[in-house]
């Protein structure tokens, strides 16, 4: 059988509506990839968190800045690369919200959820690009 | 402008049951509106016993969790009480991963949440 691969790359403005539209487009592809409902739930949550982070914290909703999203679906799983035009951040500076002293902190749980639900999550050295990967469990 | 109403409110005895009307609590504008609705229950209406019913909710982002945490703080400051109920297993997993199941009083059904409240 020929290996399957679907790919698209888009650049969106830094607004939430455009972010939601691209998440829906990605989830339409994910829906055909044969993941479990739990995995689909985790992928939606993770992609949504990453796109929202890029728009809100990365580009700070600037109309002059874009978010680039590259999506790939293969037989092995899916890969989403999200890059903003902000100044980046250091993931290690985000406090661990599961520690008792941080439990009531209202922010910082998105990263933790992405790490839990995806197979791999990797930031560029500058911190303005993230790769999310979810592989099928064979 | 008043935020749009994102909660169905019902009074059961002396308990306020607030049911989320959205399946997906993801986009920022919606989360802001939901936050405003939730905070008004305590800040403006002074409700003392609140049950949040999640039975329609299929997705919930970390920003929505942040609103719930802020609500919990307001509830404690006002000496009110808060319970959560009817959370789907996938969403309950989010509460477990973030350990928020430790700070919220979570019940399986609305009946359980109302019992002895």
Q: What is the CATH number of the domain that holds B103?
A: 3.30.750.24
Distance CA(B110)–CA(B21), nearest Å, equals 15
Q: Is residue B106 part of a domain?
A: yes
Q: Can you give the residue range of the structural domain that contains B33?
A: 7-114
- Residue B61 has its nearest CB partner, among A37, A45, A104, at A45
User: Is B1 inside any structural domain?
Assistant: no
With respect to residue B2, please indicate whether it lies within any of the assigned structural domains: no
Q: Chains A and B: how many Cβ contacts under 8 Å?
A: 62
Q: Categorize the per-residue pLDDT at B2 as very low, low, confident or very high, splitting at 50, 70 and 90.
A: low
| A113 vs B contacts (CB less than 8 Å) | 62, 94, 97-98
Q: Whole-number mean pLDDT of chain B?
A: 92
Write out pLDDT tens, residues A49-75: 999 999 999 999 999 999 999 999 999
Q: Are B97 and A116 an interchain contact pair (Cβ–Cβ within 8 Å)?
A: yes
Task: Give yes or no for residue A3 having a pLDDT over 70.
Answer: no
Where is B39: in which H helix or E strand?
helix B28-43
Nearest to A83 by CA among A61, A54, A115, A126: A54
Confidence at residue B1, expressed as pLDDT on a 0 to 100 scale: 45
Q: Domain limits at A121?
A: 5-135
CB contact under 8 A, A98 and B98: yes
Can you give the pLDDT at residue B17?
96
Give the pLDDT confidence score for residue A105 in this predicted structure: 80
Number of domains in chain B: 1
The pLDDT tens digits of the residues spanning A85-125 come to: 999 999 888 888 888 888 888 787 999 999 999 999 999 99
How many domains does chain A divide into? 1
Structure-token pair, residue A106:
């209202």
B14 lies in a domain?
A: yes
Maximum Cα interatomic distance, chain A, rounded to a whole number of Å: 53
- A70 phi and psi angles, rounded to 5 deg: -120, 120
pLDDT above 80: residue B31: yes
Q: What is the pLDDT of residue A13?
A: 98
Say what percent of chain B tops pLDDT 90. 85
Q: How far is A6 from chain B (nearest CA, A)?
A: 26
Average model confidence (pLDDT) across chain A: 93
* Inter-chain touch A49–B67, beta carbons under 8 Å: no
By Cβ distance, the residue of B26, B62, B103 closest to A103 is: B103
CA distance B72 to chain A (A): 9
- The domain spanning residue A128 has which CATH number? 3.30.565.10
Give the global pTM.
Answer: 0.90
Taking contacts as CB-CB distances below 8 angstroms, the residues of chain A near B67 are 106
A30, pLDDT greater than 70: yes
> Which whole-number Å values give the CA distances from B44 to B47, B48, B98, in the listed order?
8, 12, 29
Is residue A44 less than 8 Å (CB to CB) from chain B?
Answer: yes
Among candidates B28, B59, B94 on the partner chain, residue whose Cβ is nearest the Cβ of A16: B28
Among residues A84, A85, A93, the alpha carbon closest in space to that of A50 is found at: A84
Around A42, how many Cα atoms within 13 Å sit in the side-chain half-sphere?
A: 25
From the CA of A65, how many Å to the nearest CA of chain B?
18
Give the model confidence (pLDDT) of B56-109 as tens digits: 999 999 999 999 999 999 999 999 999 999 999 999 999 999 999 999 999 999
What Å distances lie between residue B4 and A99, A133, B7, B49, B115, CA to CA? 35, 36, 9, 23, 30
């Amino acid at each position: 059988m020929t290996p399957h691969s679907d790919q698209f790359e888009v650049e969106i403005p830094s607004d939430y509506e455009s972010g939601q539209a691209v998440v829906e487009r990605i989830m339409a592809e994910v829906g055909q990839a044969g993941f479990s409902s739990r995995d689909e739930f985790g992928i939606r949550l993770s992609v949504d968190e990453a796109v929202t982070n890029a728009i809100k914290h990365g580009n700070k909703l600037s109309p002059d800045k874009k978010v680039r999203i590259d999506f790939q679906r293969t037989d092995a799983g899916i890969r989403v690369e999200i890059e903003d035009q902000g100044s980046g951040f250091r993931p290690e500076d985000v406090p661990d919200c599961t520690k008792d002293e941080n439990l009531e902190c209202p922010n910082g749980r998105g990263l933790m959820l992405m790490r839990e639900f995806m197979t791999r999550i990797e930031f560029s050295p500058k911190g303005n690009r993230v790769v999310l990967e979810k592989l099928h469990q064979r | 402008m008043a935020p749009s109403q994102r909660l169905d409110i019902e009074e059961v005895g002396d308990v306020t049951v607030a049911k989320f009307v959205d399946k997906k609590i993801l986009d920022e504008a919606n989360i802001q509106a939901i936050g405003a609705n939730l905070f008004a229950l305590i800040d403006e209406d002074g409700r003392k016993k609140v049950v949040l019913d999640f039975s329609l909710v299929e997705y919930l982002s970390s920003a929505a969790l942040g609103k719930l945490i802020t609500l919990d703080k307001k509830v404690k400051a006002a000496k009110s009480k808060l319970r959560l109920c009817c959370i789907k297993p996938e969403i309950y997993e989010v509460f477990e991963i973030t350990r928020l199941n430790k700070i919220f009083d979570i019940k399986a059904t609305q009946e359980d949440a109302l019992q002895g409240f």
